[in-house]
């Protein structure tokens, strides 16, 4: 969670009371109240916890259209949004050490200090996997990945896009164990 930027970092804002909606990339809508506004952004109140970096569209009741925005900070039901966000540069692609093996299967994920939960797996290599999150983690957060019948593997979140993400295992899976994991996932 980031703190609110200082007033020196932004355009002057006008106090307002506007009702509207936020629209996430997956089409989910949620109520917002815009409490201050400038040409480059606004402050909103919402019941939905917003993650810094999340992109959305802001629609004000009575206004035409929606404005693209990105969450800059969030704290206790209040978020700072920046309008017309600059597209983030594409992450540098590095060659993969292993070919992805695509399959759809179940696994368990656990965040530090939390209960494990079932999640979907979409592809796997000996060094990582792509999954769908129920509890969306932050990049660089540590998770534990558990396949049926095996001890949990520690992994680092490398990227998050909506509720999907890539995990890199802290230690690559030994080839014979990887073959066994694949056989179990495909069964």
Lowest mean pLDDT, pick from 19-33, 85-99, 125-139, 158-172? 85-99
Q: pLDDT value at position 94? A: 67
C-alpha span between 120 and 130 (Å, rounded): 9
- CATH 2.40.10.220 intervals, the chain: 7-83, 101-186
Give residue 29's Cα distance to chain centre.
Answer: 17
Contacting residues for 95 by C-beta, under 8 A, at least 6 apart: none
CATH number belonging to domain 101-186: 2.40.10.220
CATH T-level assignment (fold) for domain 7-83: Thrombin, subunit H (2.40.10)
How many Å separate Cα 162 from the centre of its chain? 5
- Residue 7: predicted pLDDT: 46
Judge whether residue 76 has pLDDT over 60. Answer: yes
CA distances from 41 to 7, 13, 24, 125 (A): 13, 8, 17, 41
Model confidence at 3, pLDDT cuts 50, 70, 90, reads: very low
The pLDDT of residue 34: 95
Tens of pLDDT, residue by residue over 16-25, are 999 999 998 8
Residues found in the chain: 187
pLDDT of residue 83 exceeding 60 = yes
pLDDT for residue 90: 57
Quick one: pLDDT at residue 126? 95
**Per-residue confidence (pLDDT) for residue 10, from 0 to 100:** 55
Instruction: With a cut of 60, say whether residue 4 has pLDDT above it.
Output: no
Give the containing element (helix H, strand E) for 131: strand 128-132
Helix (H) or strand (E) holding 79: strand 78-83
pLDDT in tens, 113-143: 888 888 899 999 999 999 998 878 889 999 9
- C-alpha to C-alpha distance for 45 and 56, rounded to whole angstroms: 15
Q: What was the pLDDT predicted at 2?
A: 45
149: how many CB neighbours lie within 10 A of its CB?
Answer: 8
Looking at the predicted structure, is the pLDDT value of residue 1 above 60?
Answer: no
Look up the pTM and report it. Answer: 0.51
pLDDT for the residue numbered 78 = 96
């Amino acid at each position: 969670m980031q703190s609110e930027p200082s007033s020196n970092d932004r355009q002057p804002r006008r106090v307002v009371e506007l009702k509207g909606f936020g629209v996430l990339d997956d089409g989910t809508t949620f109520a917002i109240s815009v409490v201050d506004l400038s040409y480059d952004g606004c402050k909103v109140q919402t019941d939905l916890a917003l993650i810094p970096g999340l992109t959305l569209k802001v629609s004000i009741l009575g206004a035409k259209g929606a404005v693209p925005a990105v969450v800059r900070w969030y704290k206790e039901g209040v978020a700072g949004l920046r309008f017309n966000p600059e597209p983030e540069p594409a992450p540098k692609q590095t060659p993969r050490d292993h070919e992805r093996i695509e399959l759809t299967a179940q696994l368990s994920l656990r965040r530090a200090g939390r209960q494990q939960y079932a999640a979907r797996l979409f592809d796997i290599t000996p060094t990582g996997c792509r999954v769908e999150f129920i509890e969306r983690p932050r990049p660089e957060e540590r998770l534990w990945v558990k396949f049926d019948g095996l001890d949990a593997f520690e992994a680092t979140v490398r990227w998050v896009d909506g509720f999907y993400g890539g995990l890199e295992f802290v230690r690559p899976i030994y080839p014979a164990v990887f073959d066994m994991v694949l056989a179990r996932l495909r069964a």
